[in-house]
Chain A
């Protein structure tokens, strides 16, 4: 066989191999992103599951704080409805965190409630769960960054385009919510 034919075949072979490795890398990274999202889901669900118990415990001592309960319930519903949408989940999660802060602020005024075993345990579970939401969020964002970087870099962006890999959203707080709360005494 002619030399130039061999050279062309070798080059084609190398390009094909590169394409295969690239494609597989994208598949792996994309699956890592989806898997890490489901981990956030697990923690968020843990948190929403703890809330009815929390509301009932607090209601036992602070029946009249209706506004706070509504806030939390509304946030919880928004959370459940957000589903797999990253942006909606981020917003709902933020709302829920705020609402939970309100409940615990309310509880400060009821020493009997604060001493309640169930309440203390729930507080600890919620605190632990919130750390875990933060942790899974961090990992999710790490995997998204790795995936997106490869997506945008040359020459892997060529493979991404060929096989239709799409950019993923980071789990972040929307700009509007970043406003520092005004503390008034």
Chain B
């Protein structure tokens, strides 16, 4: 039988590998860009400008990402207007989260927050398991029974354990830098005078702008969404492992599926991936529909949970 503890260790390891690969890929991209930018100097054997710009970019990246680290996880609480849930007002929620964190062997219990909304949805945030938050809507607490609510809470707890929030924030941060760098090249393209090199640099800048702002962001987005979908399945199965009762979450997803209003107001594209079920319910079916979804289709998730034999 699979063990949650070893599963989580494996997932954390995979998360770190994904992050390292992403950083390496970005570093190579920045390296190529800087190379092209300073190729005239390099042709002459002068590497100073290259090193200056390259490490300048890397410093910007690190600073930008630390901005996300220090604010990203709590920002979402403010955006969604989540309020701290007290043991007195929400005893079952409080006790359940504590019990689940004990069953997962966590050193500290995530803090409970609620959003006053009739929609059925939930999310987790927090960079480290030691400093994490689980947020549910009051609608969810009202409409779900105890096992269903526990299933949802276990799913969110798995996101925290697998460090999905951290991975997502890092990738979002890096993508922000891509766009920043791309914009830099966009302006460079216009302001650079093409007199000295027959406009070759202008073309190079144009190419780099396309590379970062268009191609880079496009593929990074696809990658990020694929990762997000995969992590949703993972959270489903790890959550089921935690409660030893996959039907709880399956049944909860059925109810969530039937919910006509999944919190469209307070969610936006930046926060969609955090929720347990996609907060956008446009019935528009497009060819790219599944590629750009943050969550796998609900029916598939339910089927997987029910197909799972312990």
Contact = CB atoms under 8 A, between A and B. Distances in A.
B102 A128 contact: no
Contacts of B91: 124, 128
A27 B96 CA distance: 31
A146 B244 contact: no
A156 interface: no
A-side interface mostly: helix
B255 to A, nearest CB: 23
A146 B1 CA distance: 10
Size bracket of the B interface? 10 to 19
Contacts, number: 45
A136 B103 contact: yes
A146 B103 contact: no
A39 B102 contact: yes
Interface stretch (A88-96, A108-116, A137-145, A163-171): A137-145
Interface residues of A, number: 18
Q: Which of B6, B98, B99, B100 has the most C-beta atoms of chain A within 10 angstroms of its own C-beta?
A: B99
Given A124-B91, A138-B244, A132 B102 contact: yes
A119 to B, nearest CB: 15
Contacts of B244: 138
B3 interface: yes
A132 B99 contact: yes
A48 interface: no
Contacts of A124: 91
Nearest to A131: B99
A128 B99 contact: yes
B195 to A, nearest CB: 62
Q: Which of B3, B5, B91, B102 has the most C-beta atoms of chain A within 10 angstroms of its own C-beta?
A: B102
A136 B102 CA distance: 5
A132 B4 contact: no
Interface in B63-80: none
9 contacts: A128-B91, A128-B95, A131-B96, A132-B98, A132-B102, A134-B99, A136-B102, A138-B244, A143-B105
Given A128-B91, A131-B96, A139-B103, 18 more contacts: A32-B5, A32-B105, A36-B105, A39-B105, A128-B95, A128-B99, A131-B99, A132-B95, A134-B99, A134-B103, A135-B99, A135-B102, A138-B103, A139-B5, A139-B102, A139-B104, A139-B105, A142-B5
